[in-house]
């Protein structure tokens, strides 16, 4: 059996490149599933901003599935890495086996809930902004729901595959599904004229491809090979796995709460706006904010990829009590996150017009473009802080500091994300929704800075 001892000896920069780059690509490719759908939908004249708004409505519902997946997958990844660092391979195997069972059961339950309560769920996430948006949302959501089990297992296996020491395979399995989606989207939407059904079907086929590759790898793992008995649920192992992954879950699920609040505030205060209260323009704010969030998702995929790719490295070195290596890794990660945020800031502030052009602005009114430019510049003006905050969440989680990581994530998304999204529109109307994002990031960074300094202090104590 191969070991992961090189994680405690190899140069930190080289390890970051080996693990973080494939992870970044995997997450970027995963993000492309929804983003590519939205680009093709936006550029289909018979769908346009109505289809775009529908995509925005359904997007948080895929994030719920992702939240459960990363809770189990990231938790297993962190637990396996810690166990290997402590030379406890049997526990690592049980964690993998238990995680696969947990994700299969939870995915089937979520799929059933989505199919049974689709109308009510779509309404909760703002799909009733107008009749066309509701119709497209319902069509898209139905087919996306059918693919939930394939999507969830593929997403959960990705960090588990990385923990096994195969970050490139994790990347390739996700890439194969995304390439399929990119090829099939224009065929189904423009050639076959399948509309929202076509976009969703292309996505699900891609998810099935990733699912099949992940299952193949499960039976061919090289470092952690679970036996049949490892698939029997062990309450202690499952609990520890979930605890380590709870931050990832809360980070995603609280984002869903924030998106629900934002979508409903857009619907409420858009109806009071002189332009967007008109039926033919009512869907524009929701479509635009969805587009801005998709760009943000691309940036955050890079940021999370950097941090999540470091989880096996952090876990192993914490388990092996190599604090100085962990400190070195933390410093390099924070610098990299800041650089990514700065580049993203330049793009949204200086090139918003070009960004919105990608999402079909040529087929829309001037109100669509004007609101989009303003949304990019205001909503993402503190994206540098957002990048640092996200990196801090995940690094603390990888160190086994589940409480601090979870607290910071919850404060960002629930207290600030939801609270400010509900409060600021009362004073600033529709623009208040846009102000809620930068305000949340500033306030979260103040707390994150305290935790970052405290983490450095702890890593400086009793250096190995």
4, part of any domain: no
Q: At what angle do helices 235-270 and 430-460 cross, to 10 degrees?
A: 150
172, part of any domain: yes
69, part of any domain: yes
Percentage of the chain with pLDDT > 70? 97
The rounded Cα 6 to chain-centroid distance in angstroms is: 29
| Count of other CB atoms within 10 angstroms of residue 217 | 18
Report how far residue 384's alpha carbon sits from residue 110's, in angstroms, rounded to the nearest whole number.
Answer: 34
* pLDDT digits (tens), the chain, 464 positions: 455 677 777 888 888 888 888 878 877 877 777 688 888 998 888 888 889 899 989 988 998 999 999 999 989 988 998 888 888 889 999 999 999 999 999 999 999 999 999 999 999 998 888 899 999 999 999 999 999 999 999 999 988 998 888 888 988 998 899 899 999 999 999 999 999 999 999 999 999 999 999 999 999 998 888 999 999 999 999 999 998 888 778 777 877 888 889 999 999 999 999 999 998 888 999 999 988 988 998 898 899 888 888 888 887 888 788 888 889 999 999 999 999 999 999 999 999 999 888 876 667 788 989 999 999 999 999 999 999 998 888 888 778 777 788 788 888 888 999 999 999 999 999 999 999 999 999 999 999 999 999 989 988 875 44
Record the pTM: 0.79
Tally of domains within the chain = 1
Report CA-CA distances (Å) from 221 to 34, 162, 176, 420, 428: 29, 11, 19, 45, 54
Q: What is the pLDDT of residues 189-226, one digit of tens each?
A: 999 999 999 999 999 999 999 999 999 999 999 888 89
**Domain containing residue 276:** 10-460
CA dihedral sign of residues 69, 73, 74, 79: positive
Extract the tokens encoding 119: 């109308």
Q: What is the pLDDT of residues 110-142, one digit of tens each?
A: 999 999 999 999 999 988 888 999 999 999 999
1, part of any domain: no
* Contact indicator for 52, 189 with CB cutoff of 8 Å: no
Q: How confident is the model at residue 462, as a pLDDT? A: 57
The mean of the pLDDT values for the chain is 89
52, part of any domain: yes
60, part of any domain: yes
Q: Collect all residues with Cβ–Cβ distance below 8 Å to 1 and sequence separation of at least 6.
A: 89, 222, 223, 225
430, part of any domain: yes
* Contact indicator for 144, 61 with CB cutoff of 8 Å: yes
The rounded Cα 35 to chain-centroid distance in angstroms is: 12
2, part of any domain: no
Extract the tokens encoding 407: 């607290």
């Amino acid at each position: 059996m191969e070991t992961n001892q090189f994680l405690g000896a190899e140069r930190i920069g080289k390890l970051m490149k080996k693990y973080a780059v494939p992870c970044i690509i995997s997450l970027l490719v995963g993000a492309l599933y929804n983003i590519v759908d939205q680009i093709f939908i936006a550029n289909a004249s018979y769908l346009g901003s109505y289809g775009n708004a529908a995509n925005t409505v359904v997007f948080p519902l895929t994030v719920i599935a992702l939240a459960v997946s990363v809770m189990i997958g990231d938790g297993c990844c962190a637990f396996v890495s810690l166990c290997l660092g402590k030379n406890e391979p049997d526990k690592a195997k049980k964690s993998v086996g238990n995680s696969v069972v947990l994700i299969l059961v939870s995915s089937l339950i979520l799929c059933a809930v989505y199919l049974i309560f689709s109308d009510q769920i779509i309404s909760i996430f703002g799909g009733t902004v107008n009749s066309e948006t509701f119709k497209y949302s319902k069509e898209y959501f139905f087919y996306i729901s059918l693919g939930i089990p394939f999507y969830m297992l593929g997403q959960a296996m990705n960090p588990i595959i990385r923990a096994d020491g195969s970050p490139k395979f994790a990347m390739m399995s996700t890439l194969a599904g995304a390439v399929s989606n990119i090829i099939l989207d224009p065929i189904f939407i423009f050639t076959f004229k399948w509309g929202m059904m076509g976009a969703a079907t292309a996505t699900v086929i891609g998810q099935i491809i990733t699912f099949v590759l992940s299952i193949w790898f499960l039976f061919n793992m090289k470092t952690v090979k679970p036996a049949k008995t490892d698939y029997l649920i062990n309450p202690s192992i499952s609990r520890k796995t979930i605890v380590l992954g709870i931050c990832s879950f809360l980070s995603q699920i609280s984002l869903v709460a924030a998106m629900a609040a934002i979508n409903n505030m857009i619907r409420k205060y858009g109806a009071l706006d002189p332009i967007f209260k008109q039926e033919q323009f009512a869907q524009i704010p929701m479509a635009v904010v969805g587009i801005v969030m998709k760009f943000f998702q691309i940036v955050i995929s890079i940021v999370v990829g950097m941090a999540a790719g470091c989880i096996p490295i952090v876990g192993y070195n914490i388990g092996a009590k190599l604090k100085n290596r962990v400190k070195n890794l933390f410093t390099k990660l924070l610098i990299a996150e800041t650089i990514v945020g700065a580049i993203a800031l330049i793009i949204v502030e200086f090139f918003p017009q070009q960004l919105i052009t990608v999402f079909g602005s040529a087929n829309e009114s001037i109100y669509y473009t004007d609101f989009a430019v303003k949304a990019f510049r205001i909503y993402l003006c503190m994206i540098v802080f957002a990048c640092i905050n996200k990196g801090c969440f995940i690094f603390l989680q990888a160190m086994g500091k589940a409480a601090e990581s979870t607290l910071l994530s919850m404060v960002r998304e629930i207290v600030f994300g939801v609270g400010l999204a509900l409060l600021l529109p009362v004073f600033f109307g529709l623009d208040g929704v846009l102000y809620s994002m930068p305000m949340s990031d500033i306030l979260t960074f103040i707390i994150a800075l305290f935790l970052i300094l405290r983490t450095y202090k702890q890593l400086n104590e009793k250096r190995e």
